[in-house]
């Protein structure tokens, strides 16, 4: 029995896409914009490609969270509060994907990504002003404070819905919004982003498995998972060593690329 060279090439391409997505997800997010177009290129239906990509990238989420475990532990008080918001949002978003037409977010998604990129760029100024305000009121900014906890919870909930529905650039949006609301370092923001995105992806993947098992291509899931796990490990090692300014530039560039991909 001989293997079809075309199938081997496709499998290697999907594994490579998984690696790239896992790597970029840990550092900035938007990994779905690597795997999703590749799967469409190979002829998978959009819904199957979306769900299969989601399940495959969960492996990269786990390795990314593990790589940033120290930063997550340092912000455990914030993490515990926001994980609940992401969990609720992820469940709602996955349910919407299985019940609503795929055109629902077509207009909103580019606008959300553009807003997220803008906030990433403006986050240093906003963080400085927030820190100054806390000092003026006698508060000392640290890794366990949120300037607007209710607003932060609602925004993370909404981004969880978005992530459960599609998830492209979810990481860019999380860093952008959280950077405006939390007075913590960019590396800590990145760690929280990885945790919250992982919660959304795991829960939505579970829902897809239970309610849309036959619409998922499990060979594709396996190929993406193999690549994403290795990519997540590599991304965590590289991302943790990047200076904040470099990481911010990477986030902005990836966000703009994601925006152009969606518009054109």
Under 8 Å between Cβ of 88 and 160? yes
Of all residues in the chain, the percent with pLDDT exceeding 70 is 87
Q: Give the Cβ contact number of residue 73 at 10 Å.
A: 10
Lowest-pLDDT choice from 31-45, 70-84, 205-219, 235-249: 235-249
Under 8 Å between Cβ of 61 and 26? no
- Reported as a single tens digit per residue, the pLDDT across 219-230 is 999 999 999 999
- Reported as a single tens digit per residue, the pLDDT across 90-129 is 999 999 999 987 677 667 778 877 877 887 787 777 667 6
How do the residues of the chain divide into helix, strand and coil, expressed in percent and rounded to 5? 80, 0, 20
Query: Chain-centre distance of CA 171, in angstroms?
Result: 4
- The count of domains in the chain is 1
Query: What is the reported pLDDT for 143?
Result: 47
Does the pLDDT at position 240 exceed 70?
no
Query: What is the reported pLDDT for 202?
Result: 95
Cα–Cα separations (whole angstroms), residue 74 to 134, 139, 145, 187, 251: 20, 19, 12, 11, 23
pTM tops 0.75: yes
Give the DSSP letter of residue 215. G
Q: Which residues make Cβ contacts (< 8 Å) with residue 87, sequence separation at least 6?
A: 160, 199, 200, 203
Does the pLDDT at position 1 exceed 50?
no
CA distance linking residue 231 with residue 194, whole number of Å: 14
Helix (H, G, I), strand (E, B) or coil at 4: coil
CA distance linking residue 38 with residue 48, whole number of Å: 12
CA distance linking residue 116 with residue 134, whole number of Å: 24
The domain of 45 spans 5-263
Under 8 Å between Cβ of 203 and 93? no
CA distance linking residue 253 with residue 244, whole number of Å: 14
Q: Which residues make Cβ contacts (< 8 Å) with residue 252, sequence separation at least 6?
A: 117, 120, 121
- For residues 194-203, average pLDDT: 94
8 or 261, higher pLDDT: 8
- For residues 176-189, average pLDDT: 81
Q: Which residues make Cβ contacts (< 8 Å) with residue 125, sequence separation at least 6?
A: none
CA distance linking residue 49 with residue 80, whole number of Å: 31
Task: Look over the chain and give the mean of its residue pLDDT values, rounded to a whole number.
Answer: 83
């Amino acid at each position: 029995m001989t293997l079809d060279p075309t199938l081997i090439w496709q499998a290697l391409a999907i594994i490579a896409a998984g690696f790239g997505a896992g790597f970029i997800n840990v550092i900035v997010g938007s990994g779905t914009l690597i795997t999703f177009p590749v799967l469409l290129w190979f002829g998978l239906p959009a819904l199957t490609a979306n769900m299969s990509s989601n399940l495959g990238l969960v492996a990269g989420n786990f390795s990314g969270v593990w790589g940033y475990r120290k930063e997550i532990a340092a912000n455990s008080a914030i993490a515990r509060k926001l994980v609940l918001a992401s969990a609720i949002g992820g469940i709602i978003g996955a349910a919407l994907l299985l019940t609503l037409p795929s055109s629902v977010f077509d207009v909103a998604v580019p606008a959300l990504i553009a807003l997220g990129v803008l906030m990433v760029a403006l986050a240093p100024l906003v963080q400085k002003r927030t820190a100054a305000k806390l000092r003026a009121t006698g508060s000392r900014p640290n890794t366990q404070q949120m300037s607007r906890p209710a607003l932060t919870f609602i925004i993370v909930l909404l981004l969880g819905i978005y992530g459960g529905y599609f998830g492209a650039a979810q990481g860019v949006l999380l860093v952008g919004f959280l950077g405006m609301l939390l007075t913590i370092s960019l590396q800590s923001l990145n760690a929280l982003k990885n945790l919250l995105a992982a919660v959304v992806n795991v829960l939505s993947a579970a829902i897809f498995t239970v309610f849309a098992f036959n619409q998922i291509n499990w060979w594709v899931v396996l190929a993406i998972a193999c690549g994403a796990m290795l990519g997540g490990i590599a991304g965590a090692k590289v991302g943790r060593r990047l200076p904040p300014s470099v990481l911010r530039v990477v986030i902005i560039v990836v966000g703009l690329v994601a925006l152009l991909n969606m518009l054109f």
